[in-house]
Structure 1
Amino acid sequence: MTTLTVDQSWARIETWLAQHAAVSHGLLRPPALPEDIAAAELRLGVTFPPDLKDSLLRHDGVQLQDGTPTLGHYGPLSGVEDIVRSTEFLRDIGEDLADDEAELDEEERDQYAYWPHERLLISLGIGWQSSDGLFLVSRPGPHHGRVGRYFDEGSPSFTEWPGLRHLLADFATALENGTPFDGRIPLASEGRLIWDDDATIVPDPLSPLGLAAEATEPLVPPAPPRARAGPLHPAHRWGLRRSRFRGRHRAGTAAPAGRRVRDRHPARGTPGQAGRRARDRPSAQPGAGPPVGRRTLGGVPSDSPGRTVR
């Protein structure tokens, strides 16, 4: 498995804080100056491990106030000045125990001594002081750059992280997935990164706009091209014009000027039908003769009632 670089893990951390804990994101300090790092190395007489330098060149620690992003019980990451101040303080305390630790070899001192000369405190602990936190081994050797934990009430010990880059990668994963980091779950509340021990805190919900911004836009397949209709036959065009004209007439629109509109009332029929029915009916006028083509008997049509044709 490929371990992410310090910059890659910081990019993930910054993205999560910006989206969910804007207050905490705003308390990340700007990068440290390379000359400040070099001055700190000279003052302490050590060389900072590469992961520590990369992290300081990304953020020179954090601002210590309400909402400060922390590493759970391990507290906020230290800046260059904090590392120098804490390391010098703990070295002074460790000198009083030097005689008791004289029998330890160098590798044993890295892990079991109270505070070897090459150890650097890189976080300020849960109380934001030098009394506890995480440390790095700066001495060349098998433990170079390794991360350990220090509490003033117990003996120092190494963690499972072989370097600071591994710690930052696990921290970023815990933020993104809401999974435990050193036994605590990171959450966002009121724009701040907080830590929950018993999974009893309800995190801030995402707004609908926030959910929409994170959702992937669905891909809609393009509509198939419509077939282009060919030219209509003259008879079809005539039928289309008649259909449109009838629709306008039934809706009460006036017929175009100069066009004769036939009355199609079912009771009256067309003018031609009315003329044919008039010729077929017997005339009611006195002296009118029978219709042409009908047989008569004595002046009475053969199909009149009471007449029998033999």
Structure 2
Amino acid sequence: METWLAQHAPVTYADLASPADPAARTATEKVIGMPLPAPLAESLLRHDGTDFRTLFPSGWHLLSAKEIADTWALRTKIAGSDADDVHDDPAAEFGPWWDRRWVPFASDGSGNHLVIDQFGRIGDACHEDGCRFDPHPMWSSLPELFAQVASTLETGNALHYYERNVDDGELDWEIV
């Protein structure tokens, strides 16, 4: 993704965050009480979050290590004892409002978050309705999400409902 951005969207490339400080990653793991899922830890080694719509369509932005910790702590506090609900069914389409074993990694800025669960699935944790783990090829895993974004950048093919557009060196996503 970085190579494509550097060549075709240099403004967006220049806006990419530097890697997360190892101390920030360690602090995040201390707050959430568990190691970060490997794909998320690897992502933070590349970039400590992004701005809105920098890499992901639909207004999502990747959270920094500090934002992950802050979001996890806030949602866990709001959920209270309900954050301990057992969510051990990898086939379940819906989860509770919050589970302390979910790790938020992206935000839409409106209180909704993408989370990665203990099975490596991506869920859409809505601030009103709870979390959905809809079967969807784009959200099947964090590596798959990154792979699909990279493929869309390289090929120009639509990413489900979105296509890439570059204007004055800046990447943008448009609904098709």
Short-chain TM bin: 0.7 to 0.9
2-structure distance, mates of 1:94, 1:179 = 40
Q: 1:95 to 1:74 in 2, by over 3 A?
A: farther
Runs (5+) with no aligned partner, structure 2: none
Q: Are the equivalent residues in 2 in contact too, given 1:30–1:59 (CA < 8 A)?
A: yes
The CA deviation at 1:162 is 3.9
CA offsets 1:86-116 (integer angstroms, 9 cap, x no match) = 11121122227x2xx98x6431598411110
Q: For 1:61, which of 25, 45, 49 is the aligned residue? A: 49
SS in 2 for 1:196: strand
2-structure distance, mates of 1:59, 1:41 = 17
TM-score (norm 2): 0.85
The CA deviation at 1:133 is 2.9
Q: For 2:116, which of 130, 136, 144 is the aligned residue? A: 136
Aligned to 1:46: 34
1:1-310 aligned within 5 A:
13-62=1-50, 64=51, 69-73=54-58, 75-95=60-80, 98=82, 105-108=86-89, 111-125=94-108, 128-129=109-110, 131-137=111-117, 139=118, 143=119, 145-158=120-133, 159-160=136-137, 161-198=139-176
Q: Which structure shows the bigger proportion of residues in strand conformation?
A: 2
SS in 1 for 2:46: coil
* Residue identity in the other structure for 1:149: D
The CA deviation at 1:83 is 0.6
2-structure distance, mates of 1:78, 1:156 = 18
Runs (5+) with no aligned partner, structure 1: 1-12, 199-310
1-structure distance, mates of 2:103, 2:13 = 25
Q: Which has the larger radius of gyration?
A: 1
* Residue identity in the other structure for 1:152: H
Number of corresponding residues: 171
SS in 1 for 2:61: coil
* Residue identity in the other structure for 2:37: P
1-structure distance, mates of 2:58, 2:126 = 11
Q: 1:42 to 1:74 in 2, by over 3 A?
A: same
Q: 1:182 to 1:94 in 2, by over 3 A?
A: farther
CA offsets 1:18-54 (integer angstroms, 9 cap, x no match) = 1221111111111112232122101221211111111
The CA deviation at 1:74 is 5.1
Q: Are the equivalent residues in 2 in contact too, given 1:77–1:124 (CA < 8 A)?
A: yes
* Residue identity in the other structure for 1:45: G
1-structure distance, mates of 2:112, 2:59 = 8
**Alpha carbon RMSD of aligned pairs, Å?**
2.4
* Residue identity in the other structure for 1:147: I
2-structure distance, mates of 1:133, 1:15 = 27
CA offsets 1:186-233 (integer angstroms, 9 cap, x no match) = 2111211111113xxxxxxxxxxxxxxxxxxxxxxxxxxxxxxxxxxx
